[in-house]
Structure 1
Amino acid sequence: MQIINPILPGYHPDPSILRVDDDYYIAVSTFEWFPGVQIYQSRDLMHWNLLTYPLSRSSQLDLIGNINSGGVWAPCLSYSDGLFYLIYTDVKSRSGAFKDTHNYLVTAENITGPWSEPIYLNSSGFDPSLFHEEDGTKWLVNMIWDHRKGTNSFAGIALQEYSESEQKLVGPIKNIFKGTELGATEAPHIYKKDGYYFLMTAEGGTSYDHAITMARAESLSGPYYTDPQNPILTSDQTNKQQLQKAGHGSLVETQNGEWYIAHLCARPVKGNRCILGRETALQKCYWTEDNWLRVEGGQFPKFTLPAPDLKPFPIESESNLDDFDDVHLKKYWNSLRRPFTGDWVSLTERAGHLRLKGGESMSSLHRQSLLARRLESFHTEIETAIDYQPENFQQMAGLIIYYDTDDYVYLRITDHETQGKCLGIIQTKFGKYDELLPVDIALPDLPYYYLKAEIHREWLTFYYSLNRETWESAGGEIDISHLADDAAELNSLRFTGTFVGICVQDLSGSKEHADFSYFHYKHLDS
């Protein structure tokens, strides 16, 4: 049996893997999307199920106004003495020299919650991780951000004790590791084995030079000596058909003494652009006789690898057809920055429908009325039916392919002063607004309008139907390679991935609603 990578396709970066008895969990970053932190569960490392979101309340995570690719960075999931611990960063700013990176801790007796209110830890850097020492003490490590001119911004790894009784960090702060020549030292995790403390970090930056490096020490506070064969995992940039951007990893041991690294990776579709974002993969590892960690088959990640010696445990995932007949949203739905509250989203106001009430524009960092799910395949079809009665051009609703406020493509219904109800395509590319159809398509008055999108790698085609039987193309193929992390035109790094979903805007402030009767997400053959 084999594990097929990526095990979590689509936007699932910064994996933190944990085993508790026979269950495996992976927590991944969610950035500006709500709820915060996805936790997946598996019994065999091959089949994974989206289990829960621990940050489901505004009191735990307030993302309103958070910047694009801000919010929840690099969660760390751990377990000790009957309690789950989750450390996470809420990034409020990251432009220029400064980064406002607030680190918090929540706990729960059960992985599905309820999770506690957050305990504030520090803001000295990001990528925090909690190490549970055998003597019962607990230690926080995080990278240190240095904003000063002429310094190394990635200034090292800070170690400080966490007092559970006082619920705060206590004692001195020590910089235990300044990193290697690869630079950009981040994502620290500490493991103890055979008398050594092993420090795993990500280095090289989170793009194509990304890597995992190791160091070890005989005491927790160091000194740490680097692995002479670093990096232990990185990508072969000469072969873009292989997994790229390999880095930011964490380590797990199976019940049978096998070792695996969970790490992020990416798959470009056009040049260096990765429309699915950074994904999660696994690699099998082993320990050498002189106590260093190695990846089986070499330092480059592989698409297939041996599964552990565990009984296969297939998991039935939620249906990709959502007919909105339940009173709760399916777990794969996410919103931008705000919780699912009745003032803008409802499954009960009209039976068998999802009602979205018009919110702010697609440029808003505050209160968009947008529900979406991750694009997890290069070949995908999505379809919905919408009942919508706009009264003016400031009211819009429809089907959206979305990266962030700078980049999206939107098949939307609106109203025009002379044309009446009509269908058109809006695109924002690197922050520049455009309307892709020369003239919007006039729509007759009908109970429902059917909208569809087909995605084949970097190409998107929209369709519409008045009866769900005859489909017409709305424009031609659209290049969506700009819906990617690697947008050099913006001169900044982005860290999420493409979402597909539905949304409603009412720029007049009337909150005119749209009702959606289903949403079907389907993987297509390549």
Structure 2
Amino acid sequence: MIRNPILPGFNPDPSICRVGEDYYIATSTFEWYPGVQIHHSRDLVNWTLVRRPLERASQLDMRGNPDSCGVWAPCLSHADGRFWLVYTDVKRFDGNFKDAHNYIVTADTIESAWSDPVYVNSSGFDPSLFHDDDGRKWFLNMQWNHRTQSYGGQPKSPAFDGILLQEWDAASGTLVGPIRNIFAGTELGLVEGPHLFRRNGWYYLTTAEGGTGYDHAVTMARSRTIEGPYDLHPDRYLITSKDHPEASLQRAGHGQYVETPDGAAYHTHLCGRPLPPQRRCTLGRETALQKCSWKDDGWLYLADGGPVPAVDVSAPTDVASERPQTCLYDFDETSLPADFQWLRTPEPDRIFSLADRPGHLRLYGRESIGAWFEQALVARRQEHHAFRAETVVEFTPDTYQQVAGLTHYYNRHKFHALAVTLDEKLGRVVTILSCPGDFPHGRLEFPVGAGETIGEGPVELAMEIRHNDLRFYHRSGGETQWQAFGPVLDAGVVSDQGGRGEHGSFTGAFCGVFAFDTSGRAKAADFDRFRYMPL
């Protein structure tokens, strides 16, 4: 069986592509660097992260991008003997404008170096590239209309002004011919995420509607000609949980169709798994996969009937799931473990090194935790509702402006951090920095005040997340027992719905290590290992 979500934790907007017997899924990474996650599978059950292709400044530079901006909704395809990746770099979130720039990169193989980007347009986000049977290529994206009261956290449908279609000339690297608005969406509104495919003489268009919250849906339409008009699916929505609050997979929408070599039909979609009582999705938007079937009316339906996505889905072959559990990272290699990312900057050498002290991840304190330009924060996704993370840090601050430690992090206004720093009276201390929500002020809180004095030498730091609760621990000086530290904190604010709530942000929770030095002296902190354990 396929067990959903197939990509747990922050993995939204899945674009799926099959080449022979190999399947690839590309997902959004927003402000996390390198850009775009690509997972690979041969059975649709087990998936392995194999590439983040946007890895250098010429392809992607997100310094200054606000939270929840950056790389939105990539589209991965294969044609003419190479892979094509279309993506948006969004430069603004709040207010009437988005400033969304669309690009195309290509590569001969997924694992090889990808090309420098070719700029396409900036008329809206969620681009895709469709390769027609006659060899022509077509570029689609939603059109953004700034002439409306569409502010971050309060989206209004008029800003989502339909799906644009224009021919792409690969030889010249330019759009050519007329721009057509081919699909306005349904009354659900907020139409985005277009994907085209062709079958039995029909052009099928799937889009995402209803926003990224609990009204999300995959809408389906079809036409005999690529420019339309497009007729809606008899049920309108191929996949949605919007009328079924009891369903395990909520916020279902935004995905893409794929067929197996023998013609079996599947469709990806993003989803969320809310925790009671406040229905906050602490794992962000995840990737799921549904088995579908074609009926005699020429329309696609979920195999089990109805629009509600299933947790357990029949797989094409009889294989078992092989998901890893406890992960220990000892930082003995010369490159960062594949599970980890950092924020925004294409110059990672300025914020971390695995060579300057072999066997350690060295962070160079730069801007404050939550900065939009250059902060030393290296983290991996939270993939379970209950987990424990541990690390050990060597850090000798000489001012309170130098801070390093362990963090449960979403964005600049939603995080908890267990930190080593200096207090003028207490000396070196362990303390807690907490920012429990981005509305209305996003102010930093200090649940244990100045903190607790600790001696010299390495300090072990840990945190346990149990659904909505977070508890920090530490030990040092040869102690054998972990010491619980500070109050139980609200882990649920480190979620899409934390702070100002639905549509205010839509990425996911990370756990990792950080260092900052607001004195500007780039004080280094050395981390010897990192352990992630589901509970």
TM-score scaled by length of structure 1: 0.96
Q: 1:387 to 1:205 in 2, by over 3 A?
A: same
User: Is residue 2:246 matched to residue 1:225?
Assistant: no
Report if the CA contact (8 A) 2:472-2:486 is conserved: yes
Counterpart mapping for 1:454-473 below 5 A: 454-466=464-476, 467=478, 469-473=480-484
Residue in 1 that maps onto 2:152: none
Q: 1:283 to 1:58 in 2, by over 3 A?
A: same
Moved more, 463-472 or 226-235: 463-472
Structure 1 regions of 5+ residues with no counterpart?
none
Q: 1:114 to 1:495 in 2, by over 3 A?
A: same
Q: Give the letter for the 1:73 counterpart.
A: W
Residue in 1 that maps onto 2:268: 262
Report if the CA contact (8 A) 1:199-1:216 is conserved: yes
Distance 2:241 2:128 in 1: 25
How far the C-alpha of 1:328 sits from its partner, in A, is: 0.8
Distance 1:384 1:241 in 2: 36
Report if the CA contact (8 A) 1:414-1:422 is conserved: yes
Report if the CA contact (8 A) 1:49-1:317 is conserved: no
- SS of 2:533's equivalent in the other structure is strand
Moved more, 49-58 or 150-159: 150-159
User: Is residue 2:156 matched to residue 1:155?
Assistant: no
Residue in 2 that maps onto 1:188: 194
How far the C-alpha of 1:149 sits from its partner, in A, is: 3.6
Residue in 1 that maps onto 2:500: 489
Select the residue among 406, 419, 422 that pairs with 2:426.
Answer: 419
Distance 2:509 2:59 in 1: 25
Report if the CA contact (8 A) 1:403-1:484 is conserved: yes
Identity %: 47
- SS of 2:500's equivalent in the other structure is helix
Counterpart mapping for 1:436-455 below 5 A: 436-446=447-457, 448-455=458-465
How far the C-alpha of 1:301 sits from its partner, in A, is: 0.8
Q: Give the letter for the 2:403 counterpart.
A: M
Distance 1:498 1:223 in 2: 41
User: Is residue 2:520 matched to residue 1:521?
Assistant: no
Residue in 2 that maps onto 1:352: 359
Distance 1:144 1:485 in 2: 24
Q: 1:261 to 1:95 in 2, by over 3 A?
A: same
Distance 2:526 2:32 in 1: 22
Moved more, 489-498 or 185-194: 489-498
Residue in 1 that maps onto 2:153: none
How far the C-alpha of 1:363 sits from its partner, in A, is: 3.0
Residue in 2 that maps onto 1:174: 180
Residue in 1 that maps onto 2:82: 83
Residue in 1 that maps onto 2:289: 282
Residue in 2 that maps onto 1:299: 307
Structure 2 regions of 5+ residues with no counterpart?
150-156
User: Is residue 2:48 matched to residue 1:49?
Assistant: yes
Distance 2:247 2:171 in 1: 51
Report if the CA contact (8 A) 2:351-2:375 is conserved: no
- SS of 1:152's equivalent in the other structure is helix
Distance 1:356 1:275 in 2: 27
Q: Give the letter for the 2:423 counterpart.
A: H
Moved more, 250-259 or 235-244: 235-244
Could you list the per-position Cα deviations for residues 63-112 of structure 1 after superposition, in whole angstroms to 9, with x for gaps in the alignment? 00001000000000000021100000000012221111000000000111
Report if the CA contact (8 A) 1:383-1:453 is conserved: yes
Moved more, 507-516 or 337-346: 337-346
How far the C-alpha of 1:242 sits from its partner, in A, is: 1.2
How far the C-alpha of 1:479 sits from its partner, in A, is: 1.0
Distance 2:503 2:254 in 1: 20
Distance 1:23 1:429 in 2: 42
- SS of 1:342's equivalent in the other structure is helix
How far the C-alpha of 1:236 sits from its partner, in A, is: 5.2
Distance 2:118 2:262 in 1: 35
Moved more, 504-513 or 310-319: 310-319
Report if the CA contact (8 A) 1:236-1:242 is conserved: no
Counterpart mapping for 1:356-435 below 5 A: 356-430=363-437, 431-435=442-446
TM-score scaled by length of structure 2: 0.95
Q: 1:523 to 1:498 in 2, by over 3 A?
A: same
Distance 2:323 2:387 in 1: 20
How many pairs does the alignment contain? Answer: 521
Q: Give the letter for the 2:147 counterpart.
A: R
Report if the CA contact (8 A) 1:44-1:313 is conserved: no
Distance 1:314 1:9 in 2: 13
Report if the CA contact (8 A) 1:345-1:356 is conserved: yes
Distance 1:260 1:238 in 2: 22
- SS of 1:383's equivalent in the other structure is strand
Q: 1:79 to 1:174 in 2, by over 3 A?
A: same
Distance 1:366 1:214 in 2: 39
Distance 2:324 2:58 in 1: 29
User: Is residue 2:328 matched to residue 1:328?
Assistant: no
Q: 1:180 to 1:491 in 2, by over 3 A?
A: closer
Q: 1:318 to 1:147 in 2, by over 3 A?
A: same
Report if the CA contact (8 A) 1:450-1:468 is conserved: no
How far the C-alpha of 1:61 sits from its partner, in A, is: 0.4
How far the C-alpha of 1:432 sits from its partner, in A, is: 1.8
Q: 1:141 to 1:311 in 2, by over 3 A?
A: same
Q: Give the letter for the 1:342 counterpart.
A: D
Distance 2:311 2:326 in 1: 26
Q: Give the letter for the 2:181 counterpart.
A: N
How far the C-alpha of 1:319 sits from its partner, in A, is: 7.5
Report if the CA contact (8 A) 1:386-1:398 is conserved: yes
Distance 1:434 1:396 in 2: 15
Report if the CA contact (8 A) 2:334-2:354 is conserved: yes
Moved more, 230-239 or 158-167: 230-239
Distance 2:284 2:42 in 1: 26
Distance 1:362 1:384 in 2: 18
Q: Give the letter for the 2:311 counterpart.
A: F
Q: 1:277 to 1:257 in 2, by over 3 A?
A: same
Counterpart mapping for 1:190-209 below 5 A: 190-209=196-215
User: Is residue 2:133 matched to residue 1:134?
Assistant: yes
Distance 1:326 1:387 in 2: 19
Q: CA RMSD in A?
A: 1.6
How far the C-alpha of 1:305 sits from its partner, in A, is: 1.1
How far the C-alpha of 1:228 sits from its partner, in A, is: 1.9
- SS of 1:434's equivalent in the other structure is coil
Could you list the per-position Cα deviations for residues 344-371 of structure 1 after superposition, in whole angstroms to 9, with x for gaps in the alignment? 2111111211111111101310000010
